[in-house]
């Protein structure tokens, strides 16, 4: 099965909003329609400079999940806001394949320094997935969430990380 990341379009958005996680996971991830609304209208609260990018996760062209990430105008830093795989398609490696493709796309920007992602504590599958893809936990502001981080491309020293206090000039 081929996993790909595709733009959310007029042809596939309805299929995307029809996807959802299982009942025990709904507290961990926002519904896909909410993610698409945020992507269309932004985050507000002083974050209007961030571009939100929704991507359909497809298995052989069939939507099975959604990724939502943001970046600033310079594409130096990225934050993965959502990664969801529909309950019927979980456990097949689609999330790992999608995350690997996304990270490779971010690294394609030579100026890309770092990426972060968070998950609700208690969501052990998310923790295992993110750590297996090279993320490590860093201090966060919300005790209910774990913040994870990784460097994307080598940077001239010194540089300051937005999320990792260990990377400071």
Please give the span between the terminal C-alpha atoms of the chain, in angstroms, as a whole number.
44
Alpha helices in the chain (DSSP H): 13-17, 32-41, 94-107, 124-132
Entry pTM: 0.93
pLDDT computed for residue 55 by the predictor: 98
Give me the average pLDDT of each 10-residue run along the chain (169 residues).
94 95 80 91 80 96 95 94 93 95 96 95 91 94 93 89 86
Domains of the chain: which residue ranges? Answer: 3-151
CATH topology of domain 3-151: Aminopeptidase (3.40.630)
pLDDT computed for residue 109 by the predictor: 95
């Amino acid at each position: 099965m081929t996993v790909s990341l595709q733009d959310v379009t007029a042809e596939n958005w309805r299929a995307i909003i029809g996807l959802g996680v299982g009942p025990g996971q709904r507290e961990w991830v926002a519904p896909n329609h909410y993610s698409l609304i945020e992507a269309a209208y932004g985050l507000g609260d002083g974050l209007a400079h961030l571009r939100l990018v929704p991507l359909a996760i497809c298995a052989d062209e069939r939507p099975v999940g959604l990724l939502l990430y943001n970046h600033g105008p310079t594409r130096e830093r990225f934050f993965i806001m959502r990664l969801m795989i529909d309950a019927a398609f979980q456990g097949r490696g689609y999330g790992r394949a999608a995350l690997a493709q996304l990270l490779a796309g971010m690294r394609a920007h030579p100026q890309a320094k770092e990426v972060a992602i968070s998950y609700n504590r208690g969501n052990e599958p998310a923790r295992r997935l993110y750590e297996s893809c090279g993320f490590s936990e860093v201090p966060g502001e919300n005790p209910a969430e774990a913040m994870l981080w990784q460097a994307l491309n080598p940077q001239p020293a010194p540089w300051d990380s937005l999320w990792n206090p260990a990377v400071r000039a």
